[in-house]
Structure 1
């Protein structure tokens, strides 16, 4: 059976992504980003055919293994913009720290408002960092990795779609500030939009991904202790 092949999930994902790229090229709208289209197509295909997710993931998991080295490769454009990092080092560090703290505080307040359990709280806590780091953090804190992955994808997709409008709304025009804001809040998915804005924005967003991820790893155990209700 083809769904049982180790290459099935890999082929389905790559094929859906190719279709997504074609759709995005003609539609030219952030709502039809290739990654969003890929997710929709894969989910629809599995639902219509009744193929089990485990059979799909048997091959698709190899794409996930490439996430970490792909994130590391983002250091290349950062090296090209090293002069900006040196010039705005203090502001960049403060911006990334503020972004991580804001993300953590928002999850805490949302959990309190909606009465989430501690498990759900720690599951959503790392949603704004790259999945390569978010998944291990979630597992370490006792969360649900599958929901963390979903929340991470949604967060990134929202950042990709809304970043230009939100930055314009709050009148953020500096390239460095734009990149830091996007990278520290919507990880690699949002960084795609940052690179569309310019190499400087993309480079700063790449830096923010790594720095925000490391900072979240450092503060997540302490942030999880803030869950004091229920």
Structure 2
């Protein structure tokens, strides 16, 4: 089998993604400021350009990784269950934060796209960028947006939130796990949750809850927005 034949197989995209992420983790251990997801993306793009591999060929195998986003999200239910009593006792402020954050994310994204002169297609593409990827992609697809661009914006949103979120919250004087978890899960979905759970299981569990609740709430809120834009 030639290299050209191998790059057309689904195993190529899967192998490239796993190897690139493993290398990105090693780079992150040495240079902590470099987020592994960002480094992984750069490595994958570099290999595809170097070998002249079409994105469609890479995606055949990479789609399996995308499929695993679902089970990975469900796995966040473990720390959520362990901290269920604490979350239940603070449900009202958590729900308030999620609601305000979700509405703000939708409106600010729409305002940014509109302010830049974007079309309806671009507006609905940008609006769901703060929710977890599977939900964001489906919302964009159903609303007539560009799912591929939504995927990029969703990852960028998570990366920015993961890197800058904890520092911004500390700078603003936010110290308690409940507020941090609510903010990170609502604004930076799974990437932010994966970052914050390293510091605190409670914050991570609340972030996971906020991520799921924000995805549901955003899906519901998008209905009148979609009708209005139509």
Q: What residue number does 1:23 align with?
A: 27
Q: How far did 1:6 drift?
A: 1.7
Distance in 2 (alpha carbons) for counterparts of 1:126 and 1:112: 15
Gaps (5+ residues) in structure 1? none
Q: Is residue 65 of structure 2 the alignment partner of residue 63 of structure 1? A: yes
Q: What is the aligned partner in structure 2 of residue 209 from structure 1?
A: 211
* Runs of 4+ displaced beyond 2 Å: 223-228
* Aligned 1:30-45 pairs, distance under 5 A: 32-45=34-47
Report what 2:98 is aligned to. 96
CA deviations over 1:8-38 (Å, ceiling 9, x no partner) = 0000000001101111112222xx2221111
Q: Deviations over 1:144-180 (max 9, x none)?
A: 0000001001000001110111101221111100000
| Residues 34-90 of structure 1, C-alpha deviations (whole Å, 9 max, x = no match) | 211111100111112111111111111111111111101101011111122121010
Q: Which residue of 1 aligns with 2:149?
A: 147
Instruction: Provide the rounded CA distance (Å) in 1 between the counterparts of 2:99 and 2:122.
Output: 23
Question: Does the 8 Å CA contact 1:104/1:223 hold for their aligned counterparts?
Answer: no
Q: Number of aligned pairs?
A: 226
Picking from 41, 48, 51, the partner of 2:50 is: 48
Question: Does 2:48 match 1:84?
Answer: no
| Root-mean-square deviation (Å) | 1.2
5+ residue gaps, structure 2, are none
Using structure 1 for the length normalisation, give the TM-score: 0.95
